[in-house]
Structure 1
Amino acid sequence: MTSAVPGLAGTLEDRILGGLDAEQREVASTLTGPVCVLAGAGTGKTRAITHRIAYGVHSGVYSPQRLLAVTFTARAAAEMRSRLRDLGAGNVQARTFHAAALRQLQFFWPQAIGGTLPNLLDHKATMIAEAARRLRLSTDRASIRDLAAEIEWAKVSMLTPANYLENAQGRGTPGGFDLTAVARVFQSYEDVKTDRNVIDFEDVLLITVGILQEDPKVAATVREQYRHFVVDEYQDVSPLQQRLLELWLGDRDELCVVGDASQTIYSFTGASPKHLLGFKKKFPEATVVKLVRDYRSTPQVVKLANELLGSRRSGGPVADAAWAKPLQLVAQRPAGPEPRFMECPDDEAEAAVVAGRIRELLDAGVQASEIAILFRTNGQSEAYEQALASAGIGYQLRGGERFFARKEVRDAILQLRAATRAAADTAGEPLGQLVRDIVASLGYSDSAPHGGGALRERWESLAALVALADELVANRGPEFSLAEFVNELQERSVAQHAPTVQGVTLASLHAAKGLEWDAVFLVGLSEGLMPISFADTPEAVDEERRLLYVGITRAREHLSLSWSTARTPGGRANRKPSRFLDGLRPDTVAGASARSRPLTRRKPAAPASCRVCGSMLATGAERKIGRCRQCPPSYEEQTFEALRQWRKDEASSAEVPAFVVFTDATLTAIAEARPASLEELATLAGVGPSKLEKYGEAVLAVLADDGHGDGS
């Protein structure tokens, strides 16, 4: 349903709605009632919802102070605020769930609870380590990280230490601990926080929910303040965030949600697309708009993305019920090059080939900032850092040192701020030239220095500030002042909304969500890395497929997909290309050498069927060993007994139950597969990263010593 706005001037429609396609225009002009926007990758969802907000504000339907736009990252919220300012709706609040809740909590804490709001805990690691020590549990960095992630999942799922155990069945052994131990650590962690008078980020949401549920006056005040809500990336909402949203809404339906179930890649944090997919059931009168016109990527890239999702096979009733029918994207850009598939003999060769291809793109005029290398795990970045450095190509590691923490950036902002005090001396000078003049003393020049190293990195940081000044003048007009530029930098610093830096981006696939580049290299696409080895259920494998889909749809024009057959030069070529590439890659794939060699296509593996008889596997233990209980084992009894004895000794030494080291199902899988390397061991269900690091070498030694290894 479209709201008619009486007396609306045609110029306003032209200015705000004129550049939108038919579906985007429907989103932007539907100003009331529940609205659900199913928006595929690259279809302009942010454009649609920011124009909707601006159209509602300028037409008088929305009061800017009474609309709250919510998204999931500070960067996305800052980007939304920037776009709204460009559209003349800068007074609208665009925040993350946590930022919005924290602001409300700070305001209502004195009257609802009394006293001073406890300090906010930045990182859980120290507190969780203390909680484990109180229980006399031995932990390392990896196990603390896993425990922190599990506690975060529990809290956003609205679980407490008391009911965690009954609701966490099937979640494995977080940090190497059984679920009973995890529940004890969870309770101990909450006790430590109470003793230290601190709260964590999940507590901000939990306490805000508690106040809104228990205090009708506070709830009424919030609902009076906010009349309209917009939620971006709605497929990533957790049960806790959904509950907070429901309390904000009350019995009203002035809600617009935007999302894409095929981009759900954070299920491990508690995110679920069920609220997006069930929106029409919850609000039967809701307007549902599908955005499928892809303005980002070429038809070749879009075709590959569609085929990746379309080639998914059944994973059983539970997985099939959770798998949403994908949106079929329709490319709007002109044709481009076909995606490249490359097989390399080892990781080093793969990195060298990618660096060489990037050099070709740079020589052809593609900007370094428009190129990205994306990988499944952060540990894969080192080879590419070395290859790019050897090739003299600058890069930036997403997730590394924050842009606004760099010394040259802090110095530049100080000088820019000082210059605003001399406004009379700078009056009338264009902002872009003014910024260039100010940062020149810090090492900026119109041309980049030759070579790499710290000098080049410093120049790239300053050049990013200059480019941002030019961009803001182009978007907001020539009257945009130095003081406004400094204020913009301050806000971006708080939100960590960094400007574009000239350098190839290295990032994990998860970190790349929401970003895009002209050229994208998806690397390390071998079994065990994509899908990751610990994706041992059909649902987890589906999520890995969606993660690769996110990677593919980051590319505008150039897309390369590569893998290596061995980890190290001269190593055993026992890696296989990802099952997700079956049916997508051509019959011949270019290798690291100049020649191409044929590859045999494999049928996509059904992740939940017995490898012996083909029947559906019913239990987690069966899926771990890849064989149903009716089929006989295929391991040597001597091998299995050697592994059991090693596990017994290891458990005794660590004073933990034997299954905490490895379950019987995992030992069976190891005995049957007889992995000869850490890479092969990592592909087995039940061998996660922390266990691989802790026990991997010892397991390989047991297998080598039992007299049945290769060559015996």
Structure 2
Amino acid sequence: MSLELPVDVTDNLEARILGGLDEEQRHVASTLTGPMSVLAGAGTGKTRAITHRIAYGVHSGVYKPQQVLAVTFTARAAAEMRTRLRDLGVGGVQARTFHAAALRQLQYFWPHAVGGPLPGLLDHKAQVIAESARRLRLTTDRAAIRDLAAEIEWAKVSMLTPDTYLKAAAGRVEPAGFDLTTISRLFQAYEDVKTDRNIIDFEDVLLITVGILQEDAKVAATVRDQYRHFVVDEYQDVSPLQQRLLDLWLGPRDELCVVGDASQTIYSFTGATSRHLLEFTKRFPGAEVVKLVRDYRSTPQVVNLANSLLAARTKQPRRGGSDPWPAPLELIAQRPTGPEPSFTECADDEAEAAQVAGRIRTLLNEGVAASQIAVLYRTNGQSEAYEQALASADIGYQLRGGERFFRRKEVRDAMLQLRAGARAAGTDPVPQLVRDILANLGYTAQAPQSGGAVRERWESLAALVALADELDKARGSAAGGVFTLQDLVTELEERAAAQHAPTVQGVTLASLHSAKGLEWDAVFLVGLSEGLMPISFADTDDAVDEERRLLYVGITRAREHLALSWSLARTPGGRANRKPSRFLDGLRPQSSSSVQSRTGAKPSRRKQAAPAVCRVCGTMLNSGAERKVGRCQNCPPTYEESTFDALRQWRKDTALEASVPAFVVFTDATLVAIAEARPQSMQELSRLAGVGPAKLERYGEDVLRILSDN
């Protein structure tokens, strides 16, 4: 039920906390007691609703901030929630991941409940799994170890032991080609190695905390006295182990608000299940259910496509499936109309990457910021083609999952300088102080014209300046508060601990899974062919359903521009035996289907251009590297070794100076083509594959000089 307060207090709170919320969000934010399930579609403002709910509860006196625990699934999401709560004037609320909250409790209660020092925490399983495999004389490679680690994680979050694993895993795909009995033995060996080394993994943190809460009534009572109100975000992704921990935190009470969307369940392979969200009202029969369906993120065109994707799911009998397909939330777009999503069929992967880079260049020229553009793919192995295409087009990019922002040298130096500056800060506004301090590290108001490492360093510093501007606006004089340089330093330290990086200029390259929770003005969904979307090993209805939900997540990341593409062949000149994803059936206009060549032309589907042949022996060239060189791999190279070595050394020096991978300067195939063709002029050099206008301008003179000297 909604809280009743004196009129003057209510009016003030409504203006400050509830103002700007829509009817459904307002209901979530003002209903402070009892169980509540919030079914929130993509882009419907769920984080806004629950943070305002917590703020309203604290400011009204119903909640004590220290007695609220907000749980989410990533450190970044938890950090963002804490930031939003601080902006609403609410400090002291614990917003953490399940693992972070459990670890904090375990560190506190271990000496009393178990005794002795807490075992060391294992960051990565690979080394321990490799040792376990050696004990059993099993042959493994890196890919097998990764698959085995995933299987052990699934077993542990499903609360299985090596003894109970065999029965529960019946029917599962055998990871890394090992039978389930072998996996069970490896699971036991893994646990033995950890015991020998006195270490625990992240799943153990949850399991041990659950065990202590179950066995020690005093510990359970202490935790339940500490936390009285719980909010769980992304509830569709909880595992059985996380649900068990939540049950123990909650005890017999029902002060629980959960938020989720079954249509965004994309982590079933880790043990996550939407069943807890869908069956919430069975456990709490009196629970309120609120649906958030007003989409404030995306244009009607994007929203309609997302709705159509879910509505088009097959009604045929299920094969090997168990979880129900819930009726999806039908989103209602709130933004003005925008461009129609585009569908592009390309001749091969190289052509697809090239056309995406060309369209990104167009968006950049139209004023769309690079940081507001993303290329999303199904597997991380697809990124290389887009890295090369963007590098060739002289477009900066950031690889999600690459070097972490707060580990960059210039960022570490900046934080040291800001920390020192905070001790002697004057009365100047924080944004100006930050600019003055970072100027010593190379920050300027205008971006440098050069690229490479110089530009990357500037972009890191510029991201810190932009964050200072943003926080000062939200918490400083403009918001009626005081925001100091020390406040900024504290914020940066918290963000560094949570890896909650500020926005950096550069096109984002990311897998669909890692894009969850993010959004961009323009999104390119690439590689949408059968075998990649859905992935080839999705061989049950449940697995295919999850792939459909994964594509839905990708579509709903886009605010305005959305482009979907696929290719018919893996390599230039290869067999065009790929088919577009079945998920696109009925969604794409037939007239939009076109084959894009490497140059962007649209050749006829019936009459393909003749494949390139080797200039030495006349055989067909099958790979992009062979086509660049004009020679098959079986024919010997025609360049002089000294020339090729000189070019390679120059490329190495140039890449080191710019702090970029060598292939960003020129790929091996392009370097071979240069050495064999020995162009005499800029015009001749420009005709070679892999030498675009930007690279010609940047490296052309150096290349011609090396060829002349060798």
TM-score (norm 2): 0.83
3-state SS of 2:440 partner: helix
**What is the rounded CA distance, in whole Å, between the counterparts of 1:202 and 1:153 in structure 2?**
10
Matches of 1:597 and 1:233, distance apart in 2 = 46
Alpha-carbon distance in structure 1 between the residues aligned to 2:409 and 2:475: 28
Residues 1:313 and 2:314 are matched in the alignment? yes
Instruction: Report the 3-state secondary structure (helix = DSSP H, G, I; strand = E; otherwise coil) of the residue aligned with 1:585.
Output: coil
Who is 1:518 aligned against? 521
The aligned residue for residue 454 of structure 1 is 453
Deviation for aligned residue 1:451: 3.8
- Aligned CA distance change for structure 1 residues 79 and 597 (closer, same or farther; 3 Å): farther
Q: Report the alpha carbon displacement of residue 534 of structure 1 after superposing the two structures with TM.
A: 0.6
What is the alpha-carbon distance in structure 2 between the residues aligned to residue 27 and residue 252 of structure 1? 19
| Structure 1 Cα separation of the partners of residues 6 and 180 of structure 2 | 60
User: By how many angstroms is 1:18 displaced?
Assistant: 1.0
Deviation at 1:319, TM superposition (A): 3.7
Equivalent position SS for 2:162: coil
Instruction: Note the C-alpha offset of 1:416.
Output: 0.7
Partner of 1:161: 162
CA shift, 1:590, in A, is 3.5
Q: Give the partner amino acid of 1:303.
A: N
8 Å contact from structure 1 (residues 172, 178) kept in 2: no
Residue 247 of structure 1 aligns to a residue whose secondary structure is helix
Describe the SS at the equivalent of 1:70. Answer: strand
Shift of 1:91: 1.2
* Alignment partners' CA distance in 1, 2:288 and 2:360: 45
1:608 match: none
Structure 1 match to 2:648: none
The equivalent residue for 2:356 is 354
Please name the residue that 2:464 is paired with: 465
Alignment partners' CA distance in 2, 1:63 and 1:522: 44
Unaligned runs of 5+ in 1: 600-712
SS in 2 for 1:450: coil
RMSD in angstroms over aligned alpha carbons? 1.2
Aligned equivalent of 2:12: 11
SS of the residue corresponding to residue 502 of structure 2 reads coil
- Deviation, structure 1 residue 314: 2.6
Q: Does 1:548 align with 2:551?
A: yes
List aligned pairs for 1:45-124, cutoff 5 A.
Answer: 45-124=46-125
Per-residue Cα deviation, 1:5-35 (whole angstroms, up to 9, x for no partner): 3563311111100110000000000100000
Pairing of 1:121-136 with structure 2 (within 5 A): 121-136=122-137
Length-normalised TM-score, structure 1: 0.83
Aligned mates of 2:203, 2:107 — CA distance in 1: 15
Residue 702 of structure 1 aligns with which residue? Answer: none
1:591 to 583, 589, 595: 595
Three-state SS of the structure 2 residue aligned to 1:462 is helix
> CA-to-partner distance for each residue in 1:312-344, whole Å, 9 max, x for gaps?
003535648521110000000000000000001
The equivalent of 2:487 in structure 1 is 484
Alignment-derived partner of residue 380 in structure 1: 382
Q: Deviations over 1:146-199 (max 9, x none)?
A: 000000000000000011001001112112211000000000000000000000
Q: How does 1:53-452 map to 2 (within 5 A)?
A: 53-317=54-318, 319=321, 321-423=323-425, 427-452=426-451
8 A Cα contact 1:436 1:466, kept in partner:
yes
User: Take 2:294 and 2:135, find their aligned partners in 1: how far apart are those partners?
Assistant: 56
Residue correspondence of structure 1 range 548-587 to structure 2 within 5 A:
548-587=551-590
> Structure 2 CA distance, aligned partners of 1:483 and 1:345?
55
- Secondary structure of 1:448's counterpart equals coil
Identity of aligned residues (%): 78
Residue 322 of structure 1 aligns to a residue whose secondary structure is: coil
Structure 1: how far apart are the matches of 2:322 and 2:126?
37
Shift of 1:3: 2.9
Rounded Cα–Cα distance in structure 2 between residues aligned with 1:276 and 1:358: 39
Distance in structure 1 (CA, Å) of the matches to 2:552 and 2:390: 25
Q: Could you give the per-residue CA deviations for residues 215-253 of structure 1, whole angstroms, max 9, x where no partner exists?
A: 000000000000000000000000000000000000000
Match of 2:474 in 1: 475
Q: Does 1:498 align with 2:497?
A: no
**Structure 2 CA distance for partners of 1:281 and 1:596, relative to 1, 3 Å:** farther
Asked whether the 8 Å contact 1:315–1:538 carries over to 2, the reply is no
CA contact (8 A) 1:371 1:505 kept: yes
- Cα contact 2:524–2:563 (8 A) shared by 1: yes
User: 1:596: how far off?
Assistant: 8.0
- 309-318 vs 515-524, which moves further: 309-318
Q: Aligned partner of 1:302: which letter? A: V
3-state SS of paired residue (1:253): coil
Cα deviation, residue 594, structure 1: 4.1
The correspondence of residues 611-690 of structure 1 with structure 2, limited to 5 A, is none
Q: 1:443 deviation in Å? A: 1.7
In structure 2, how many angstroms separate the alpha carbons of the residues matched to 1:449 and 1:353?
A: 27
CA distance in 2, matches of 1:403, 1:237: 28
Kept in 1, the 8 Å contact 2:595–2:605? The answer is no
1:202 Cα deviation (Å)?
Answer: 0.2
Note if contact 1:392-1:451 (Cα within 8 Å) is conserved in structure 2.
no
AA aligned to 1:370 is Q
Task: Give structure 2 stretches of 5+ with no counterpart.
Answer: 607-710
3-state DSSP of counterpart to 1:220: helix
Deviations 1:291-325 (A, max 9, x none): 00000000000000000000000353564852111
2:343–2:564 contact (8 Å) kept in structure 1: yes
